Amino acid sequence: MGETEKRIATHGVRCFSKIKMFLLALTCAYVSKSLSGIYMNSMLTQIERQFDIPTSIVGLINGSFEIGNLLLIILVSYFGTKLHRPIMIGIGCVIMGLGCFLMSLPHFLMGRYEYETTISPTSNLSSNSFLCMENRTQTLKPTQDPAECVKEMKSLMWIYVLVGNIIRGIGETPIMPLGISYIEDFAKSENSPLYIGILESGKMIGPIVGLLLGSFCARIYVDTGSVNTDDLTITPTDTRWVGAWWIGFLVCAGVNILTSIPFFFFPKTLPKEGLQDNVDRTENDKEEKHREKAKEENRGITKDFLPFMKSLSCNPIYMLLILTSVLQINAFINMFTFLPKYLEQQYGKSTSEVVLLIGVCNLPPICIGYLLIGFIMKKFRITVKKAAYMAFCLSLFEYLLSYFHFMISCDNFQVAGLTTSYEGVQHPLYVENKVLADCNTRCSCLTNTWDPVCGDNGLSYMSACLAGCEKSVGMGTHMVFQNCSCIQSSGNSSAVLGLCKKGPECANKLQYFLIMSVIGSFIYSITAIPGYMVLLRCIKSEEKSLGIGLHAFCTRIFAGIPAPIYFGALIDRTCLHWGTLKCGEPGACRMYNINNFRRIYLVLPAALRGSSYLPAFFILILMRKFQLPGEMYSSETELADMKLTVKKSECTDVHRIPKVENDGELKTKL
């Protein structure tokens, strides 16, 4: 008897270890996929500048991940449960690694990055050609055939990044639906909130590492090692600066491939956590049962697809959840995708600083919130219904709190001829856009080149020539321009490279913005887990994997793909000055009307989020009237009391208990 108990205990520990080890491996996969995703998001401005493309194209590149995910999500979610789920997850991680490697290739296939400037050592003009000179008739570049110019620029290299992101999306497809369904199938129902909280926290560790990596790479010049950085006339705060974005993608490729290894060693199925198989059953019985189950799954691999789809479509709570998710994700994707660009333009920070601030201030409270709500739901045995009510109220509070962002804003950069007059008179809606003035008309300046300087009068100018500067001293970023006729100040009328920095008042407003973001991120994370648990519990267990996949499909096709594209196109409409390519065509935007940018960035997501609370309210009403198919019991005592009614002969062997699909059916049969 002692030997039997020992064998049962050993078997239980082994089952316990496997589900925990799978949870650990899946958490690592979540870390790697979120690391790649957040790093990609943090480098969007660098990619925009590297390839001189508008924000709408950047939105398309960002949404291409969802396109790749969309291609396989429903098929993987349904047919994946019939196959070996851990191995499929491992293959997906390998594919993600290959996609990240492909995204880094343009750096090795293109030439050196040449930023837009009037101060060029390769120019055919004299060394002081960028200064104010009367009666100048030279041209900046020799005549060149437009077709040859475009070919030389290799302007379509961004397609490599697009295709690589699609491949990365394809690889990410099996991780969430198959991983979640695997845990749901073999873990205790009361442990699911904690496990999902751990997974979501892992999904936050990846972004923290990704943002730190992005901040590091954004400080390194893109062509580091092949150019002398002392000769550069731009700094990381300049809108023409491009960081070493390709380094991070190589790191992400390696991490994804390493993460895939453990999944190839997990079994197809595990015993249910908390239950021990009859250890005296012979090995032949196990093999025979496994073969019969495999045959049954192969026979039913397609016959249940349409009935499951019909059942999900007729589930009102599930369909309302999809609608709510689509509206919410539209808002969050728009805000998070372009948050670095917004902070750069609004508060005058570099990409490196912005990415670091996002990682330090936003992600830790989200990680803490995920773990906290998962622990609370397990510790106090909060039912999904009660958690849903709590999540709705907290989410609504956080939404109302977000309106304070409208009051935390800074003015445009004061650039003469764009946002203010040459006399320094700034109007809220300055629309004259007169680049030339009496002080620089004699200088024969190029009016479309962006090479800004900051005058000692506090005004910025599009170039040293447009500032009327006639002399320069120093080299690189330490160059100083003197005798500037447009700069009216008590000093020597000088200017330095770069835009003038915004004042300390704007820096204080950035601190308020970050404090609000910390509070909002923490509340959001607390509401996310209960919402996801409602999704898991409102569908039957046999439909769970397909339901998760269909939910992901709808959110991608109606939110993940179109949101960054249309939002990027709207942001492009706020551009005040476009960069100029070698061929004379417009490149990436150098400066935005920050007031219009702010309205689009804050108002549109607020409208989308506000409309999402209507279907969410109807979900709460329906949850009061109907019991969720997969809702867990509020306490183990309730389930234990019902089990006492089962005949003792049936309780002696857990394999003789009638097989049921969910707790509601168990209650009926008991």
Report the chain's mean pLDDT, rounded to a whole number: 79
**Mean pLDDT across 239-251:** 93
654 pLDDT band (50/70/90 cuts)?
A: very low
- Say if CB 408 and CB 509 are below 8 A apart: yes
pLDDT value at 142 more than 60: no
Higher confidence at residue 120 or residue 454?
A: 454
Per residue in 152-174, pLDDT (tens digit) is: 555 688 999 999 999 999 998 88
pLDDT value at 12 more than 70: no
Which range in 319-323, 446-450, 477-481, 585-589 is most confidently predicted, on average pLDDT?
319-323
Share of the chain above pLDDT 70, in %: 78
Ordered DSSP codes for 397-452: HHHHHGGGGGGS--PPP-BBTTTB-TT--B-TT--------TTTGGG---SS----
What pLDDT does residue 625 have? 79
pLDDT value at 610 more than 70: yes
What SS3 state is found at 590? Answer: strand
pLDDT value at 662 more than 50: no
What pLDDT does residue 425 have? 65
What pLDDT does residue 101 have? 96
491 pLDDT band (50/70/90 cuts)?
A: low
661 pLDDT band (50/70/90 cuts)?
A: very low
pLDDT value at 193 more than 50: yes
Domains and CATH numbers, the chain: 16-117+153-272 (1.20.1250.20), 306-410+503-646 (1.20.1250.20), 414-501 (no CATH)
149 pLDDT band (50/70/90 cuts)?
A: low
pLDDT value at 16 more than 80: no
What pLDDT does residue 273 have? 63
Tell me the one-letter amino acid at 500: C
Higher confidence at residue 446 or residue 103?
A: 103
111 pLDDT band (50/70/90 cuts)?
A: confident
Cα dist from 376 to 197, 227, 398, 562, whole Å: 11, 55, 20, 36
pLDDT value at 47 more than 90: yes
Q: Check residue 560 and report its DSSP letter.
A: I
Token pair for 191:
């442990």
What pLDDT does residue 163 have? 95
322 pLDDT band (50/70/90 cuts)?
A: very high
What pLDDT does residue 94 have? 95
Higher confidence at residue 298 or residue 371?
A: 371
Q: Which residues are registered as beta bridge partners of 586?
A: 580
**Mean pLDDT across 260-275:** 79
Burial 210-229, CB ≥16 within 10 A → b, else e: bbbbbbbbbbbbbbeeeeee
81 pLDDT band (50/70/90 cuts)?
A: low
pLDDT value at 88 more than 70: yes
- Worst-scoring range by mean pLDDT, 519-528, 534-543, 635-644? 635-644
What pLDDT does residue 92 have? 92
- Say if CB 217 and CB 248 are below 8 A apart: yes
80 pLDDT band (50/70/90 cuts)?
A: low
Token pair for 218:
């954004």
pLDDT value at 50 more than 70: yes
**Mean pLDDT across 345-367:** 87
What pLDDT does residue 601 have? 94
HEC letters along 229-288: HHHCCCCCCCCCCCECHHHHHHHHHHHHHHHHHHHHHCCCCCCCCCCCCCCCCCHHHHHH
What pLDDT does residue 360 have? 85
**Mean pLDDT across 133-159:** 59
- Worst-scoring range by mean pLDDT, 150-164, 417-431, 498-512, 532-546? 417-431
What pLDDT does residue 286 have? 47
- Say if CB 271 and CB 286 are below 8 A apart: no
What pLDDT does residue 515 have? 92
Phi-psi category of residue 236: left, alpha or beta, with phi > 0 → left and psi -120 to 50 → alpha: alpha
- Taking the CB of residue 472, how many other CB atoms lie within 10 A of it? 19
507 pLDDT band (50/70/90 cuts)?
A: confident
d(CA 443, CA 423): 18
What pLDDT does residue 519 have? 92
**Mean pLDDT across 92-100:** 95
What pLDDT does residue 302 have? 55
d(CA 544, CA 177): 9
What pLDDT does residue 569 have? 93
**Mean pLDDT across 653-668:** 39
